Every structure is written in C-alpha cells, then in structure tokens.
Amino acid sequence: MTEPVTSFELLPGAAESPVLLHVPHSARAIPEDVRTGILLDDPSLRRELDHITDAHTDRIAERAAALAEITPWRFVNRLSRLVVDPERFPDDREEMLAAGMGAVYTRTTHRGELRPADADPEPLLERYFRPYARAMSEAVAGRLAATGRAVVIDVHSYPAEPLPYELHGAGPRPAVCLGTDAFHTPPALTGAARTALAGCGETGLDSPFSGTYVPLEYYGRDRRVSALMVEIRRDTYMAEPGGPAGPGLERLAAALAGLVDAV
C-alpha cells in the first residue's frame, strides 16, 4: 500500500541558517492500519506512548526557533516512533535490535510484546522510514548548498528514572545529556552547547544515551555536516510520564535558541 508522504514536515528557517533542528520522537499519532499490527490494547498503548514519546520537544524546538536571532530550519516527525523510529539503523548495525527496538519496534519500553517477533518490518520501512531518510538527506543538502555547512541538532527527552529497555541505563542521568559522534561532533559544538545550556542544570556527555543523527548519505563521510543530540531529562520541564509541560520548557527553549545562535 502506498500513499503520499505526510508523516513529517520541513519547516523553513532563514536562508542563511545552517542549523536544522531535528525532532523525531515528539508525536503520538499512529495510522489506523499500523495500529492494527500493534498487540497492546488501547489503555496499554496510551501508557506506552506516555513512556516512549519525547513529549513537548516539538514545542521546545518551535519556541527556540522563534527566539533565535537567525531562524533555524526544523524537521519534525508527525508520527509516533512506534510506527518507525527514523533514528535507528535499518539493519544489523543497530544495537537496539537486542531490545526489540530497531527501526520497527517489536518490544515495549518494559520489554513486553508490541508486535510479533517475526513481524516483517519491510512494509513500514518502505512506507515511512525510507521517505523520511530521503527527506532528511535533502534537508541537509539544502543547508550545505545554501551555507556550505549543516548543523543538525537533535531535540530529544528522556525519563528521570531508567526504563527496562535502556541498554545503558545505569550511568549518570544529568539534566541535559549531550550525545556526540567522534566524526560529526566537533569540540566547538559540544562547548557551545555546554555554555548555552548551563542554566538548565548539569550537562553530561553520552549518558544515558550516546551518538547523534546524521543521514546515512553523509554519515562518516562529510565533515561539513556536524551534529549533536540534546537529550533533556523530562522532570526538568514536564510531569512524567506523558503529563503537561511546566515553566522549564521556556527556559530550555531560550537555552536552545542560544545554542542555535552560537553555531
């Protein structure tokens, strides 16, 4: 089954901005025909969405874009990561396959069954994952063509207490975790993030989550594409799990705008 791609949105910024705020996990929407392949009943699915969704990160990015001196571009996933997770490797390179949470999840945050273990991921990869990846590659190419560089800032959140699915949940859980990549995260970008986010609480590197997102076309190949993952601990800006945002959201948005302006 094919359909026009409406699962993501590229929101234009200033022509001279190299920055692309990437928001992959903020949505809860699941198309009905995808919902039929999920084994959870409705109350259980709502609870799972509360735990797995990076709630309000789209609002943080939207507000940061409004506050920045030069408006960054935004690429926002409009579907839940329970449809596909666009940030996973679509093959055996993905370490989260060990937890049943590759590009198409078969297990929940609490290691319960989400889809049958033998479910074929290919239809969802073809329908959602690959179009998303192509569009992100095109968005990065647009920044490179316009400015000679691209800075992808991933906007995520994570729970104050580790969930059973986490492979590295025993490490520090600072107010802001900065995920880095040895090839694509230059020290100046990490330093700018530490400075900009200093007022939001302790910052740490690569714990409990590490790495950052770069489209595979550029990954490990093009140093003009720099990237950083900003993982915000949820109790700093919202009621967990899945509750409303609080005053911390505005503080975080202003700090993220500061990072955008610095890079």
pLDDT class for 92, splitting at 50, 70, 90? confident
Q: What is the pLDDT of residues 167-217, one digit of tens each?
A: 888 999 999 999 999 999 999 999 999 999 999 999 999 999 999 999 999
Asked whether residue 172 is domain-assigned, the answer is yes
The CA dihedral of 172, 174, 177, 181, to the nearest 10 degrees, is -30
Please answer whether residues 164 and 111 qualify as being in contact, where contact means their C-beta atoms are separated by less than 8 angstroms.
Answer: yes
Q: What six digits make up the tokens of 83?
A: 């449809």
Please answer whether residues 156 and 54 qualify as being in contact, where contact means their C-beta atoms are separated by less than 8 angstroms.
Answer: yes
Average pLDDT taken over every residue of the chain: 95
pLDDT class for 4, splitting at 50, 70, 90? very low
User: 26 vs 167, which has greater pLDDT?
Assistant: 26
Q: What's residue 91's pLDDT?
A: 74
pLDDT class for 2, splitting at 50, 70, 90? very low
Cis status of the peptide bond prior to 208, with omega within 30 of 0:
yes
Asked whether residue 3 is domain-assigned, the answer is no
State which of 3-12, 95-104, 205-214 shows the largest mean pLDDT. 205-214
The mean pLDDT value for 145-153 works out to 98
The length of the chain in residues reads: 263
Q: What is the pLDDT of residues 102-126, one digit of tens each?
A: 999 999 999 999 999 999 999 999 9
134: Cβ contacts below 8 Å, ≥ 6 apart: none
Asked whether residue 156 is domain-assigned, the answer is yes
Tally of structural domains, the chain = 1
The CATH number covering residue 147 comes to 3.40.630.40
Q: What is the pLDDT of residues 229-260, one digit of tens each?
A: 999 999 999 999 999 999 999 999 999 999 99
Q: Could you give the CA distance from residue 19 to residue 67 in angstroms, rounded to a whole number?
A: 14
Q: What's residue 99's pLDDT?
A: 81
Q: What's residue 167's pLDDT?
A: 85
Asked whether residue 168 is domain-assigned, the answer is yes
The mean pLDDT value for 88-103 works out to 84
Q: What is the pLDDT of residues 37-69, one digit of tens each?
A: 999 999 999 999 999 999 999 999 999 999 999
User: In the chain, count of helices (H) and strands (E)?
Assistant: 7, 7
Asked whether residue 2 is domain-assigned, the answer is no
Q: What six digits make up the tokens of 251?
A: 């503080």
| Residues of the domain holding 202 | 8-262
Q: What six digits make up the tokens of 150?
A: 């691209």
Please answer whether residues 136 and 215 qualify as being in contact, where contact means their C-beta atoms are separated by less than 8 angstroms.
Answer: yes
Q: Could you give the CA distance from residue 236 to residue 60 in angstroms, rounded to a whole number?
A: 13
Q: Are strands 176-179 and 73-77 parallel, antiparallel or unpaired?
A: unpaired
